[in-house]
Structure 1
Amino acid sequence: MRIPRIYTATELTEGTTIELDSAAANHVGKVLRMKPDQSLILFNGSGNDYTASISDVTKKHVTVVIDSTIKVASESPLETHIGQVMSRGDRMDYMIQKSTELGATEITPLTSERCEVKLKGDREEKRVKQWQQIAISAAEQCGRSKIPIINPVTSLDEWVSSKPDDTLGLVLHHRTTQQITDIKQPEKVCLLIGPEGGLSKSEIDMAINQQFVATTFGPRVFRTETAPVAALSIIQWLWGDFNR
């Protein structure tokens, strides 16, 4: 039987007995209906996994014993920060799930000239929390020991202008002739992805003026939720851990 792998926000230390946080306890006790003496693998984003066994289960509380620490080598050496202009429906959910599986380090939802999603106040906070939970669930499934950070919604121009100097900025632009294979290998990448209607010329020019490199992955135009999946796959192959 496959041992469940569960994220918990609780501090994990080998040889201790702890009570899981409410989200993890609900999943273990109510969703999986696990019982005392059953085994778990826990992680809290520190970079390690922890084997554990359940000592007690009630309606609201789950207590576990941390048995051992497992060093996990599931993180790419390439740091990737995706700036994704928000899109309608479940496209953002899909993007965050797949980007987590593909090794993204950080994701920032963006607004832009052609962004059709308007989030403010409680709606924005609720959606960001939902996206963070999607990243957690994807990390549980794919074996990542760290969780991508989902940042608050930011304007495209603010995100572009905040790119660190030691980071390669890429903006997908199907009308350029710059091939990604001609770019020198970086250690960190910021990847700008436009909305369903694409980035405007002024937004692309602004990104280029902020030292982003306009690059293409071929002659076809990707949908907004396909672009980060394709881009991450390629840069993980070229510069990350897909070919190791």
Structure 2
Amino acid sequence: MELPVFYAGDMISGAAAYTMDEPTSKYCVTVLRKAKGDKILLADGRGGKYTAEITDDHRKKCVSAILETERVPAPAPRLRIGIAFTKNASRMEWFLEKATEIGMSEIIPLITRRTEKENLKMERLESILVSAMLQSRQWHLPKLHTPQPFESLMAAEGQRFIAHCLPGEKNPFYRSPAREKMRYC
């Protein structure tokens, strides 16, 4: 049986023990019924994978001793995606889950002419990213940027690709002979 994974975003490198916060402790001890001596995995979201053993199974502050530390390399290539979120919160949350599961490194919410939701609840979105990271057993948490205008993303260095489903329209931001031959989905 696989060991359960818990988020330890405030884990200090080289620490000998880790104390979970109250909600995580309650889930570990009360829901999963983990007890003193049980082994668990901790993820710091920066590539740290820690094998730990519970030493104090208190439901408000569960303490575990770090037995083994492993550094998991970041997925290559590093992928960033910019997306204009819709008004529908469940679609936004679904997108964040899937983007995390496929290994996106950065997610950039975009503000466009037609954006209806510019003020996002960043804490809620971060918790969705953490849940998706733990569920898919990944060790790197994608960086969620603050919303930024579409124009600033297009002004950034590096390659940029735009996906859309409008037949016959040309993208005014990028022109090349190879691009002229591309078909749109």
CA distance in 1, matches of 2:37, 2:7: 19
Tell me what 1:172 maps to.
Answer: 163
1:1-244 to 2 correspondences below 5 Å: 1-13=1-13, 16-73=16-73, 75-89=74-88, 90-119=90-119, 124=120, 127-161=121-155, 163-164=156-157, 167-174=158-165, 204-205=171-172, 207-208=173-174, 219-220=184-185
The residue matched to 2:131 in structure 1 has which SS? helix
2:180 and 2:63 map into 1 onto residues whose CA distance is: 51
Q: Tell me how far apart the structure 2 counterparts of residues 57 and 150 of structure 1 sit (CA, whole Å).
A: 33
Structure 1 residues 63 and 169: alpha-carbon distance in aligned structure 2, compared to 1, 3 A threshold: same
More helix by share: 1
- Maintained 8 Å contact 2:25/2:58: no
- Structure 2, gaps ≥5 residues long: none
Provide the C-alpha distance between the structure 2 equivalents of 1:97 and 1:159, rounded to a whole number of angstroms: 22
1:95-152 residue CA offsets vs partner (Å, 9 max, x unmatched) = 1111111110000111211223242xxxx3xx22111111111111222211001111
In structure 2, relative to structure 1, the CA distance for the partners of 1:105 and 1:15 (3 Å cut) is closer
With over 3 angstroms needed to count, the CA separation of the structure-2 counterparts of 1:215 and 1:9, relative to structure 1, is farther
1:45 positional shift: 1.9
Structure 1 spans left out of the alignment, 5+ residues = 178-199, 221-244
AA matched with 2:145: N
Q: CA deviation at 1:28?
A: 1.9
How many residue pairs match? The answer is: 183
- Contact 2:23–2:60, Cα closer than 8 Å, also in 1: no
Higher RCO (C-alpha 8 Å, min separation 6) = 1
Q: CA deviation at 1:27?
A: 3.2
Structure 2: how far apart are the matches of 1:152 and 1:37? 41
Q: Report the Cα distance in structure 1 between the residues aligned to 2:29 and 2:180, rounded to whole angstroms.
A: 48
CA–CA distance in 1 between the matches of 2:22 and 2:112?
A: 37
The root-mean-square deviation of aligned C-alpha atoms, in Å, is 3.0
Cα 1:218–1:5 change in 2 (3 A) is: farther
For 2:38, give the aligned amino acid: Q
Q: Report the AA paired with residue 129 of structure 1.
A: E
* Whole-angstrom distance in 2 between the partners of 1:83 and 1:14: 35
So what's the TM-score if we normalise by structure 2?
0.83
**Shift in CA distance, 88/214, structure 1 to aligned 2, threshold 3 Å:** farther
